[in-house]
Amino acid sequence: MKKINDSHNHMKRELSNRHVQLIAIGGTIGTGLFLGSSRSIAFTGPSIMLVYLLAGTFMFLLTRAMGEMLYMDPSQHTFINFITKYLGRPFGFFSGWTYWLSIVFMGMGELTAVGIYFQFWFPKIPMWLIQIAFLLMIMSINLITVKFFGEAEFWFAMIKISAIVALILTGIFMVAVNFKTPVGHASLVNITTHFQLFPNGWMKFVMAFPMVFFAYQGIEFVGITTSETKNPRQVLPRAINQIIFRILIFYVGALLAIMAIYPWRSLDPKQSPFVWVFKLLGISWAAGLINFVVLTAAASALNSVLYSSGRHLYQLALDSKGHFKKTFAVISDKGVPARAIMFSALVVAVSPIIYSIPTINDAFSVIASISSGAYLLIYILTLLAHRKYIQSSDYLPDGFLMPKPKILDPLTIAFMAFIFVSMGFQSDTLPAVVGTTIWVVVFGGYSWLKHRN
């Protein structure tokens, strides 16, 4: 087996297996599950579980492809480097900056969510003040040490997991005692009665896939932490292999519990199912409890955004020349890319300014949705790089191998392409398809002309 090349990795390896396991969970659980599950269920009923399973399986295969390359060379700070190495500099340059911008826009969205959730309790505090205060706090967590980041993310994830486990246990209890609800009784019959694969038509079933994909977006963060773990080749396979089980337990388990408690056609798409399930138990402060959980989920996502965007900007600087490299390819005494983290946070801080200008709100939403479309392109390029890797001299036959890559790589690429096409079926995601296409033509063309030689 090849030795780990650590010659360019000056970051401290302070993340333990405990940290990475919880970061992996945090990367697959977003605010969408707590707030948007009713809306996704309303799309296609109980068959939404099949959508989550299919999407989750392909996202798992994506992480296995990333994991195999990172296992071969865990000194890399980002999987984008493999795109550069195996597909060429134009694709790497395009992917590096596209991915960094996508993460930053994701951070802007999460920062806005933090402000909204915090105003639930303190409506008189200005939104911009809440956002800046939270951003400074999360940036400080990232600047102290990577171990401190891991510890914060561990507890953020624990809060999210506790809420989901509580919902699942509540569902089991209600079904077991045939709990009476305002519209009937809690029972598995609520799921199986008149079950249809396409209760609202096949188009709604297809349109549910982009929604579910967005819930999984960011699942690759677990791979980015590899270069800062103490035993990367021991920790990485364990963390990635358990992703599929977490998907089954947390996503499918939560949806199963919700639909068993309440007939799915009676759900209010605008209300969080977590809130009313806990209210059925007599918890009057359920809304405040779930608001705390989603606030934690948004803070966790913002924490991961600054961690990941800082590492990516550091790597972009490391691979560049001149003043940009001297400024951002720097590691602090704490062993973190402090300047890259602070610059990423500064760009995220533009969010309060944008949201304070009413005429720009819609434009910002379009840009944010374009970043989601760009994510699909990055994932496809990563899978193409993986195909090149297994044909290269770097291939590690005794490494962390993706199963049946000659079959599953093309299948996963086809699934990502299917998600991109299905985004064109909805008015709120159509701008992402158009905008991403324009971005590929303009910035992709620039990247090719700049680095074709």
From first to last of its 453 residues, the chain has per-residue pLDDT tens of 555 444 444 556 666 666 676 676 666 677 777 877 888 888 889 999 999 999 989 999 999 999 999 999 887 767 888 999 999 999 999 999 999 998 888 888 888 888 888 888 989 999 889 999 999 999 999 898 878 888 888 888 888 888 889 989 999 999 999 998 888 888 999 888 878 888 888 999 998 898 888 878 877 777 667 666 777 888 888 888 887 777 778 888 999 999 999 888 888 887 888 888 888 888 888 888 888 988 888 888 888 889 888 988 998 888 888 888 888 888 888 888 899 999 999 999 988 887 777 666 555 566 666 777 888 999 999 999 999 999 999 999 998 999 999 999 999 999 999 999 998 888 878 888 888 899 999 999 999 998 887
* Cα atoms in the Cβ-side hemisphere of radius 13 Å centred on 113: 22
Q: Which residues contact 283 (CB under 8 A, 6 or more apart)?
A: 289
pLDDT tens for 206-251 read: 988 988 888 788 777 776 676 667 778 888 888 888 877 777 788 8
Q: Could you give the 3-state DSSP secondary structure of residue 15?
A: strand
Is residue 95 within 8 A of residue 80, CB to CB? The reply is yes
Query: Does some domain include residue 367?
Result: yes
- Tokens for 276, please give them: 């009313």
Query: Does some domain include residue 4?
Result: no
- Residue 140: predicted pLDDT: 93
CB count in 10 Å sphere of residue 13: 18
Nearest Cα residue to 287 out of 130, 149, 295? 295
Q: Could you give the 3-state DSSP secondary structure of residue 196?
A: coil
Instruction: Give kind and range of the element (H or E) at residue 216.
Output: helix 202-216
Query: Does some domain include residue 205?
Result: yes
Query: Does some domain include residue 338?
Result: yes
DSSP assigned state of 334: T
Nearest Cα residue to 115 out of 136, 129, 131, 133? 131
- Tokens for 273, please give them: 């199912």
Query: Does some domain include residue 311?
Result: yes
As for how many domains the chain has, the answer is: 1
Which runs of E-coded beta strand occur in 60-197?
180-181, 184-185
Residue 136 belongs to domain spanning: 17-451
Cα(318)–Cα(327) distance, integer angstroms: 10
Cα(399)–Cα(101) distance, integer angstroms: 32
pLDDT tens for 34-71 read: 877 888 888 889 999 999 999 989 999 999 999 999 99
- Residue 412: predicted pLDDT: 97
Which sign does the torsion angle of CA 174, 176, 180, 184 carry?
positive
Residue 189 Cα to chain centre, angstroms: 33
Query: Does some domain include residue 380?
Result: yes
Is residue 244 within 8 A of residue 50, CB to CB? The reply is no
Cα(398)–Cα(351) distance, integer angstroms: 46
- Tokens for 28, please give them: 């697959």
Query: Does some domain include residue 246?
Result: yes
Query: Does some domain include residue 342?
Result: yes
Q: CATH number of the domain at 171, please.
A: 1.20.1740.10
pTM greater than 0.85 (yes/no): yes
Cα(85)–Cα(386) distance, integer angstroms: 10
